[in-house]
Each structure stands twice: as structure tokens, then as C-alpha cells.
Structure 1
Amino acid sequence: MFKNSTLVLMLLLALSACKNESKEKNPEEKQTNVDTDLNHMLNNYYEEGLKLNPLNATFSGDARYNDSFPNFLSDEYTSELKNYYTKYKDEASKIDDSDLSETEKMSKAILLWECNINLEALSFKNSQYFPIDQMWSVNLLMGQLASGSSAQPFKTVEDYSNWLKRVDGFVLWLNSAESRMREGMAAGYVLPKSLIVKVIPQLKAMTETNVEQNLYYSPIKNFPENFSEEDKKQIGEDYFKMVSEKIVPAYKSLHDFMAGDYLKAGRTTTGIADTPNGEAFYKHQIKLYTTTEMTADEIHQLGLNEVARISSEMEKVKEQIGFKGNLKAFFNHVRTNKEMMPFNEPQQIIDNFYAIHEKMKPQLEILFDNKPKTEFEVKQTEKFRENSASAEYNPGSLDGTRPGIFYVPIPNASEYNIYSDESLFLHEAIPGHHYQISLTQENDALPMFRKTLFYSGYGEGWALYSESLGKELGLFTDPYQYFGMLGAEMHRAVRLVVDTGMHSKGWTREQAIQYCLENEAESEAGIISEIERYMANPGQALAYKIGQLKILELRAKAEKEMGNKFQIAEFHNQVLETGCVPLALLENKINNWIANSK
């Protein structure tokens, strides 16, 4: 039950007056009272947030809401969200910074940023009218959970029952998604045709009428050994009905709608600016993902500058390898070089990532004196989403019992090119997302709500910065792997150009694809998938380079101003111990650390 913060303070003041025969508290008592009030508020914010988004609780390893799936698309839910953020914004604003420690000031600043950016998001209709796309939407997340090998547990009879109840809520969401998209069509909000055609087969896969082959029947194939035959029989019957009577019909209806009316109405244009209020929405997305006030024009020019700088570095590698021809020809050489495709089985690719980890372990001890306790695994991306997926990291549970997982799409092992695998591992696994997220979750000094926050500017910026540590970690001894790192950095620089190009400067999908083909070594199929990813989530792709450049800038400043006092492991501690924060707050923290060191 939420306690009135004013009442708490009044009671504490009364106790203080009785004890000290004074109407005023001494400074230490005042600090304690404010601490209690702030921490109480932050805890309530976190707990209420889990109820509003129980999927976050599940992925954090909190099982209390594993049976819940609210209708995120309903007007009632939107109203709840608005009230939630408004309430905590008002409460946080009443707390005086002069009473807070530096850590508490940062927690308050982050909370206010969260409330403001989410309230701003609620002023747009995009999340309701674009509930489904080929890469980011909740139906894909539910598919991961349905596989039985993700964050939703299937260890007890209650676990199996929880999933049935959650699916009931999800089916309601699927029906609402169709209704909302019909509303969106009427209001001018509709996906580009090139994205719709990628969603249709994803939905089709879930209409499998051979129930035992349907993804949502998967948990029945892996019963725990301690289940009784009676439990297995009953659960099996319940899941058969769930798939045949709920999942298949709901997905079939949505599939038929998207393959019919929605596809016919699909946009032939590319950028979000071609939708109602699109320019304002893109400005919001830039702020959301970069956590800066940069404009689309500034980011576009920064991207062009970075593309030119990285191209110069790539020329040096080309010359080192002895390749005769221009850089574009070298890209094609790298894309098609069979020596860079040495494997035939997915497990060989996964084993290669583990070998990369072993190679860099000695240097990790030097660059990092804080390492997470949470384990990590490398897994192949599930088949149902593999063709449209990028490599990604899924965090472990808050208590560390579920490992972090690095998912790798391997549609065809014999065509898998390993030239960028070292940089990919640095980014997605160690010391990239796995270190940053796990250390945050394991940091008991942080309030709970900060343990599960993810700001792309910081989080993706850290992961891209981690790629630049390759040589310091004993990697990139092969010039092709070093070129792979440059290629990954170029990939993020190109994103600045094409994302702003499509969503702010009128570029078409085809123009963006061509720009990528001319400036990076990704395969054409990979580039098409990436461009369509940016189309589905405007602005997200900007975060990587913006964040990386800020961390590199802060490291260079610390090295210059601290001189011999600079220790790389301590710099990494300073960056990682805050958890995910907006970049301006990280910059303030590092500047204070540099100043205090003097």
C-alpha cells in the first residue's frame, strides 16, 4: 500500500520534536527522512511498473506476474500509463536536491527523465496504430517465450498454468492489434508494403494446425521429470485446446487481415515523416534513443564525417592484405570470400564464439576488475524469426540464476561469414551487453527501478565502445577480423546517414540500401534486413554511434587530464557502476570523477 509521503515526513518530524524538544531536525535526521521518502517512492515506482508491464517482471526473473498480459493497446491501459508517469513526476519534483546524495540526485534525475520521455511518447498514436512489425513487436517476444527455452519458466504445474492464463491476455491483444491497425489505416497510419510482406510469413507460421508442430505447443515436449502422468495428460489436453482453439484462430485472423486489406493499404513511401505528425514523432524518437537534443541534420552530418574517417582506415587494411582494386570491390571480396565461411553446422559457429572468449580472458583481467557473476550462453536464433533477426543479447535474470543469452541468426551455416565475429562477440556478449547489463543488475547500491532500465544511447554506445577494445583484449590479430571491427563501426556510422535520410530527408528504401552497399561490407540480404529494421523503429539505430563517441570522448578527456593517475579499469568502473543513464548524466559523473582526482 502506498504511503502518503507528506504524512511520513510529518510523523518523523513529530518524533524528532518529542525527542529533542525542538521544532527542527538536525541535518543528519533531515537526510534520513528524505532518504526514506525518496527510496520509498522509487520502490513504489518500480513495483507499480512491474504490474503495468508484467513481461518486464518475467524477463527480470520475477515470477509474480507470469500469468498476466495486459492489453497494451486499450485506451484504459494508456490512461493508466499516463496517470502512473504523471503521479511520479509530480512526487519527484517535490523533493529538494539539496537534501540528496549524488547517487540519489542521479536516481531522481533518471526518474524525471523517464516520466517526461514516456509522457511525451503517449502524446503520439504510433504505438497503438503500429502494434506489429517484422522485428520489434510483442508477438515476436511472445513467440520466444512460447518456445519454452526463454525467460518464461516451465518447471512446475503452476508455471504451465501461468502460461495458459498469459496466453488468454495475449489473444485479446492480437484481436486488438487488428482493430487498432484498421483505425490506423483510416487515420493515415500504415506500414510500408516492404515491411508488411515480411510480417505475413511470421504470422503464417503460427497458424500451423498440426498442433504438435505449432511453436505454442513446445513446452509440452519438455515436461520436467517429476511431473505425474495425470498432470502431463491434463496439461497436454489444456495446451492442445489453447493452440487449436485460441492461438491458431487469432493468428489466422490477423494473418488474413495483413495479407489482405492491410497489404493493399500499405504505404509505398519509406520514412515516418510520411505519416501524420511524423516529423514531430521522429524528433521524439531521436531524443528517446540518443538521450540528447541533437537534430536530424546534425546527426546526418556526423554520420557523413564518420563514414569518411572509417573509409580511410579501411583503405589501410585493404593495402595491408594486398587486395588490388577499390574499396567497393574489397567489400564484395569480403562478402563472398569462401575462406571466411569455414563452417557447415550451426554448432561450429557457436563454438567459435566461445573460443573468442577464451582468447581474450587474460586481458579482461587487466581492463576490468569488476566482472559479472551472471553466466552467459550463445544460442542460435529460433527458426521462426531467424530470417528477419539480427544478432542480439537477452539479459539474465536479476538473481543471476538464468544466464544472459547471445542469440545468433544462422539461416545457413555454410554461408555464414565469420569476418566480423570478434567484434560481434565484444558487442553482444563480453564486455558489451553482458557486462554492462549484468553488472547493473548485480549492483546492490542501485534502486530496483534502475537495474532494469535500458537507454540505447548508453547501452548500445557501451557495446560499440567495447568493440574498440578488441586490440587491447588480444583480438584483431587477423586483418580480416580488424576489418570486421571497422565494418561494424562503419555499419553504425552508415546508420546515422540512412536513418536520418529516410525519416527526415525523403530518402527511399532503395536509396538507403544502395548507400549501404557502397559504403559497407554487409551482404545485400543483411543490408535489406537492416534498412527495414530502421524503417520499423525510427531513430533506434542512431543510438550506437552517438553513445560510443561520447564514451570515447570522456575516456580521452580523462586520460589527458588525469595523466599518470588514469587507470583504465577504474574508468570502466566509473562508466558501468551507474547502470544505464542518459548520456548527459554520465558525462556529469565522469567530469566530477576527473575533477575529484585532481
Structure 2
Amino acid sequence: MHRLILAISLLVSLMMYTSCTNQPTERNPELAAFFDTYFEERLKLFPLEATTQGDNRYNDQLPNDISAEFIANTRQFFTNNLQQLQTFDRERLSDEDKVSYDIFKREMEVQLEGLKFHQEYIPFQQFWGLPLTFGQLGSGAGAQPFKTVKDYEDWLKRVSAFKAWGDTAIANMRQGLATNLVLPASLVVKMIPQMNELVVNEPVQSLFYGPIKTMPADFSPEEKNRLTAAYKKAIQEDIVPTYRKLSDFLKNEYLPKARASSGIDMVPQGSALYTYLVKTWTTTDKTPEEIYQTGLTEVARIRSEMEKVKQQVGFTGTLDEFFTHLKNDPKFYPYKTPEDVLDAFRSIQAKIEPNLKTMFTKTPKTPFEIRQTEKFREASASAEYNQGSADGSRPGIFYVPIPDAAKFNITSGMESLFLHEAIPGHHYQISLQQENTNLPKFQRFSWYGAYGEGWALYCESLGIELGLYTDPYQYMGALGDEMHRAVRLVVDVGLHAKKMTREQAIKYMMDNEPISEDGATAEIERYMAIPGQALSYKIGALKIRELRSKYEQQLGNKFSLAAFHDEFLKDGCMPLDVLERKMDAWAERVK
């Protein structure tokens, strides 16, 4: 009997082992083909995405992506792809394919859900939208290439389509006025000068004349003359009239009817829209109230850290007085030229390079540059990272706005800013994702704020390990940046779900971090323009730190920080719940 039980036990074990080993380890070729087809169709639908990725096949196309016809096509596209995905049995897929399946399914569902809120009635604002992106593309310094005659002709076709987009934007905003889906007046007044900045009397004064000034020397004289004339005509007849029309509409028709309220909850379906945006940006099911409470807790924790720095440097006043000291003391304003500021960031890069090797086994091949933000958008821009192309032909660029170098404050968190926007933050994460040709393309070029911004904020917390924050004022700057993201949880939810006014939000921000009134105003107005987006940073960073701590405890001396970082970055952006399942599986393999 004992032998029979033993035999049965061995047989059951063998069957279980066989069942486990039958789990596919390779990617499903039919699923891969489906994902490839989706990606190709998506690039045709959204050609600006292709341009950003360095795929130049659709550089002459600019669909009217806020028109009713385009939105109907988009709805059908996402519906069809969701239905096709569900023909695959998820349980019969490899672990990597399950990750891809889960990301894709969620993406289709979220995109479809968002269409019911008519966000096309607010087609742009002061922070982002095609009128601003168009300036970057057409300047010759952005993602749109200007290397061949065809490149120059491609752009002219986009210019002619921009005129139609502008007319639709005005019609949509009129529809928004009719249905009370409108922007706050305090944002509209910022949009009008942005439009006016691109209205010029002479084409040669235009930002869009930039590519003519830098035309390749190998173009023939005939080509140069023809393209110069065509660009002058396009600027005079298409670009300037469109920006003038947008400016006049905003000033004369839209601003008088813009709303006095600050939060999105004050428009029709506003509360439901905010709940949707919170889910979209955080990739969690956390409620606005949960996030608000997390924000209050984090603000209190970081304030206590700031008090310690204040004591360390021997400042005897209150924390508010310390903030004022950091803003006003002339010793914190050492720069005279924009190049001085850029050199300071280059020195930060040089300082961290030796320690990066202990934290990352895999690093990007994509080149990296530090540049000053272009003048036309510098006044209202934040420091930012513009991704390079997947093939490395266009570098990743860390843009720094420097309207006046003499007003650039070294306690603003330069070291933490570099870790976040540049290396190892956005540059490592986005470049490694794009360079991983084993991923389906929709994953290689996807973006989730909670993952991407969460990673960048988590990278700020690596400062001490990377050899930074040795100066208490730079550490105070890093705490200021962390506080900034914690404050966002309070004010974003406050504005859009708790009736907090713009002025109350500005005051709360200034009470809790060393920021000027102009800086706080620009930030709060950004959150008013893109509700929920600012939540993604802190929610993502808290999850990454939570996972790291969990695996450090679980794995003990088997835990490798470089291996953790490599695994985290390997499969690119994904929702946080998908990420945790993936990382848990990695920890099991390490065990």
C-alpha cells in the first residue's frame, strides 16, 4: 500500500511538473502579428506619434484629430482591437505575453471610456496641445526632420492641414461654450499671448522660418529658392492667419464666457471625468480622497525633513522664513549666462557617472544632450525631457528654460531635477524601452505617467547613493522637489474634487515649499489644465519604493539593486498593477 501511494504521489508530481513545463515560454506568433498590425494601423491614425518615434513615413500627414469623423474612426479602431484581443486565451500565453495582453486590454478599455467625455471640446490649453506642438515641430529644432528636400515638402503638407485643424478647434470650443465644457478664464489669458507670439508681419521673423535659415548646403540653388518662396507663402497664408484667428477667438469670444471656477468638477460630468482621469494617470483604483490623505501624510513627513536641514545650516527662523531666505539671498544666484546654467547641469552628469555603473547593468545607446528651451515657449515652460528616436539618430534632449540666467536659483533642486528629467530618469527609462526590439512595438513606444513619472521621481531619491546631495542646500532642493510632488496630491484633488480655489491652491503650495508666486501660479494652472496628471508622479514613486523595500526584505543577500532596476526597466511602461505582478514573478525566480 505504501508503495502504491508513493507511486501515485510520484505520478501526480510528474503530471504537475509536466503541466508547469507546458506553460509557453516563447511569444505567441499570432499575438505578435496582431500587435504589429495594431501598431502599424495606429501610426497611420496618429502620424505625429510616428514622427516622435523617428518613423518618417507619415511626416506629411496631420489628421484633424478633433473632428467628429476622426473620433468615430478612433472609437471603431479601439473597439475592433479589443474584440480581436479577446480571441486569444490569456491563460495559454507565456508570462511576457500575459504582460503585453494585460497592458493592451487596459489601454483599449481606457481609450474607449474616455471618448464619452467630449474632451475634444477643449482641444488645447496653455500647457499642451497642437498649437504649441506645431511650433516645436516647425522650428527645425524638434522631432520633425529637415534634412532632405522631401522633408521640407512634407512639412508644407502638414502646414496646409493645420489650417483645417484650427477651424475645427474653434468650432469645438464653441460647442464647449454651448454645453458649459469650458476652460477657466485664468488659463485662457495665458493662451492668448502664446498664439500672438507666433503672429508676425514678416515671414523671416517667424519661428517657422527656422528650417530655411538652416537649409542643408547640398540643396541646389533652384531648390533653395523654391522652398524659401513656399515657406514664406505658407507662413503668410496658412500659419499666421491660423494663429491670429485662434488668438482673436480666444480673446473676443471665448474669454468673456470662460468659467471663474478652478476645478473640472464644475463642468457637466466633471466628477465622473475627474475619477476617470485619476484612474488613467495613476493606473490604480485609488479614490481621489485616498490620494488626498496620502498627500497630507507625505507633506507632513517631508516638512520634518526640511526642518532638519534648516537646523543643519544654522538658520534660526521659521521654515517659511527659511524658504524666503532660499528665494532671496543673492548667494543662491551665481549665474550670469545661460551657458553657466547648462555647464552646472553638465557637471552634475559628470559627477554621477561613476556610481551609475553600480546601479544599472543595461544603459541606453541613445545619445543625450542638454539644451536651453527655445525662446518662443521659454516663458511658460518647465524643464523637460524630449525623447530621442529609437534608432539613436536624434538624441534625447534635456531642455532647461533660462529666461534670465541671473534669476536661476541653485537651491531650486538642480541635482534632483537632472536625476528626474535626464539621467537616470526619463532618458534611461524611455531610451531603454524604445531600444528593446523584443517588445511589441505598442509597448516600445507606450507611456504611462504613473510608471514613467513615478520612475523619474524615484530616481530623485537615488541622489545620495549616486554621490549627490552632499551640499545641504542641494538636499533642501531635492526635498523641495519631493514636497512639490506631495503637494500636488493635495492641490490636484483639492482643485478638482474638494472645491479648492486657484488662489487657495497657490497659497498651500507656497506655504509648504520654497517656490515663488509666479512659479506656484504656473504650476497650479498646469494642474487646472490637465487634471489628474500631476498625481502620477508621487503615486508611481511610492509604489516603486514599496516594491524595492519588499524585495530587499524577501531576497536578503540575493537582492541586487542593479538587477531590480534592470528588470523594472526591461519591459517598458505599464500600469502599476501589471508591474507588480511582473516584479513579483521576477522575485520568485531570484529566490
Work out whether residues 494 and 500 of structure 2, in 8 Å CA contact, stay in contact via their aligned partners in 1: yes
The alpha-carbon distance between structure 1 residues 293 and 209, as it changes in their structure 2 partners (threshold 3 A), is same
1:43 maps to which residue?
Answer: 36
Which residue matches 1:307? Answer: 299
Match of 2:577 in 1: 584
Quote the Cα distance in structure 2 between the aligned partners of 1:443 and 1:245.
Answer: 43
2:436 is aligned, of 413, 423, 443, to: 443
Residue 31 of structure 1: how far off its partner (Å): 6.2
1:520 equivalent in structure 2: 513
Distance 1:31 1:494 in 2: 45
Deviations 1:212-240 (A, max 9, x none): 01111111111101011111100000001
| Distance in 2 of aligned mates of 1:258 and 1:447 | 42
How far apart are the structure 2 equivalents of 1:569 and 1:359? 19
User: What is the aligned counterpart of 1:60 among 38, 49, 53?
Assistant: 53
Contact 2:25 2:95 in 1 (8 A): no
Structure 1 residue 360, shift from structure 2 partner: 0.8
State the TM-score, normalized to the length of structure 2.
0.95
1:78-117 per-residue CA deviation (whole Å, 9 max, x = no partner) reads 0111111111111111211232111111111111011011
Is 1:354 the counterpart of 2:346? The answer is: yes
User: Per-residue deviation at 1:283?
Assistant: 0.3
The alignment partner of 2:99 has SS state of helix
| Separation in 1, partners of 2:27, 2:240 | 53
Structure 2 residue 481 is matched with structure 1 residue 488: yes
- 1:218 and 2:207 are equivalent in the alignment: no
CA deviation profile, 1:427-455 (whole Å, cap 9, x unmatched): 00000000000000111221111111010
Map of 1:109 onto structure 2: 102
Structure 2 SS opposite 1:262? helix
In structure 1, the partner of 2:4 is: none
What residue in structure 1 maps to residue 127 of structure 2? 135
Q: What amino acid is the match of 1:295?
A: T
User: Distance between the aligned counterparts of 1:338 and 1:60, measured in 2?
Assistant: 43
Paired residue secondary structure (1:473): coil
Cα distance in 2 for partners of 1:403, 1:165 equals 26
Q: In the alignment, what sits opposite 2:403?
A: 411
List alignment gaps of at least 5 residues for structure 2: 1-18
**Which amino acid in structure 2 is aligned with residue 464 of structure 1?**
L
Call closer, same or farther: CA 1:160–1:515 in 2, change over 3 Å.
same
Residue 37 of structure 1: how far off its partner (Å):
1.1
TM-superposed deviation, 1:596? 2.4
What is aligned with 1:371? Answer: 363
Q: Secondary structure at the match of 1:342?
A: coil
CA–CA separation in structure 1 for the residues paired with 2:103 and 2:366: 25
- Between the aligned partners of 1:70 and 1:238, the Cα distance in structure 2 is 21
Deviations 1:183-203 (A, max 9, x none): 110110111111000000000
| Aligned counterpart for 2:530 among listed residues 522, 529, 537 | 537
Shift of 1:254: 1.2
What is the correspondence of 1:257-276 to structure 2 with a 5 Å cutoff? Answer: 257-276=249-268
Residue 228 of structure 2 corresponds to 236
Match of 1:474 among 467, 470, 487: 467
Question: By how many angstroms is 1:385 displaced?
Answer: 1.3
Letter paired with 1:580: C
Conserved? CA contact 2:327–2:514, under 8 Å = yes
- 1:362-418 residue CA offsets vs partner (Å, 9 max, x unmatched): 100101111101011111111111121111111100111110011111111100112
The answer as to 2:278 corresponding to 1:283 is no
2:28 is paired with a residue whose SS is helix
2:84 maps to a residue whose letter is: E
> 2:539: which partner in 1?
546
2:63 and 2:455 map into 1 onto residues whose CA distance is 33
Of 556, 560, 580, the residue aligned with 1:563 is 556
CA contact (8 A) 2:495 2:501 kept: yes
Deviations for 1:224-275, whole angstroms, at most 9, x for unmatched residues?
A: 0101111110000000100001111111111111011111001111000011
Q: CA deviation at 1:352?
A: 1.0
Report SS of the residue matched to 2:399: strand
* Contact residue 26 and residue 94 of structure 2 kept, 8 A: no
1:144 maps to 2:136:
yes
What displacement does 1:30 show?
Answer: 11
State how far apart, in whole Å, the 2-side matches of 1:31 and 1:595 are.
18
Deviations 1:441-476 (A, max 9, x none): 111221111111010000000000000000100001
CA apart distance, 1:56: 0.5
- Cα distance in 1 for residues equivalent to 2:147 and 2:410: 36
Equivalence for 1:249: 241
Q: Which residue number corresponds to residue 328 of structure 1?
A: 320
3-state secondary structure, aligned to 1:379: strand
Task: Write the distance in 1 (CA, Å) between the matches of 2:328 and 2:219.
Answer: 50
* Structure 1 counterpart SS, 2:398: strand
Question: What one-letter code is carried by the residue in structure 1 that aligns with 2:100?
Answer: S
Counterpart secondary structure, 2:246: helix
- Does the aligned pair in 2 maintain the 1:34–1:99 contact within 8 Å? no
Structure 1 SS opposite 2:385:
strand
Letter in 1 for 2:95: E
Instruction: Give the counterpart letter for 1:384 in structure 2.
Output: F
2:332 corresponds to which residue?
340
SS across alignment from 1:407: strand
- Give distance in 2, aligned partners of 1:112 and 1:166: 32
**Regions of 4+ moved over 3 Å:** 26-34
Counterpart Cα distance in 1 of 2:571 and 2:302: 30
Contact map agreement 1:460 1:544 (CA 8 A) in 2: yes
Distance 2:53 2:21 in 1: 35
Amino acid at match of 1:566: F
What is the CA–CA distance in structure 2 between the aligned matches of 1:340 and 1:430, rounded to whole Å?
24
Measure, in 2, the Cα distance between the counterparts of 1:410 and 1:191: 28
Q: CA deviation at 1:28?
A: 11
**Are the counterparts in 1 of residues 35 and 442 from structure 2 also a CA contact under 8 Å?**
yes
Which amino acid is 2:254 matched to?
Y
Matching residue of 1:395: 387
- Which runs of 5 or more residues in structure 1 are unaligned? 1-25
> Deviation at 1:33?
11
Question: Which residue pairs with 2:286 in the alignment?
Answer: 294
CA distance in structure 1 between the aligned counterparts of 2:26 and 2:495, rounded to whole angstroms: 51
Aligned sequence identity (%): 52
Cα root mean square deviation, aligned: 1.5
Tell me, in whole angstroms, the C-alpha distance in 2 between the residues paired with 1:545 and 1:560: 23
Cross-structure match for 2:145: 153
Quote the Cα distance in structure 2 between the aligned partners of 1:184 and 1:391.
31
Q: Could you tell me the TM-score, scaled by structure 1's length? A: 0.94
**Match of residue 182 from structure 1:** 174
Cα separation, 2, equivalents of 1:231 and 1:313:
62
Superimposed CA distance per residue, residues 285-318 of structure 1 (whole angstroms, 9 cap, x where no aligned partner) = 0011000001010000000000000000000000
- Give, as a single letter, the amino acid of the residue that structure 1 aligns with 2:488: R
Counterpart Cα distance in 1 of 2:176 and 2:116: 15
Could you give the per-residue CA deviations for residues 138-193 of structure 1, whole angstroms, max 9, x where no partner exists? 11111101110111000111000000001111121111111110111011011111
Structure 1 Cα separation of the partners of residues 307 and 150 of structure 2: 59
> Which whole-Å CA distance do the structure 2 matches of 1:458 and 1:493 have between them?
17
- Does structure 1 retain, via aligned residues, the 8 Å contact 2:27–2:97? no
Give the 3-state SS of the residue equivalent to 1:123 in structure 2: helix
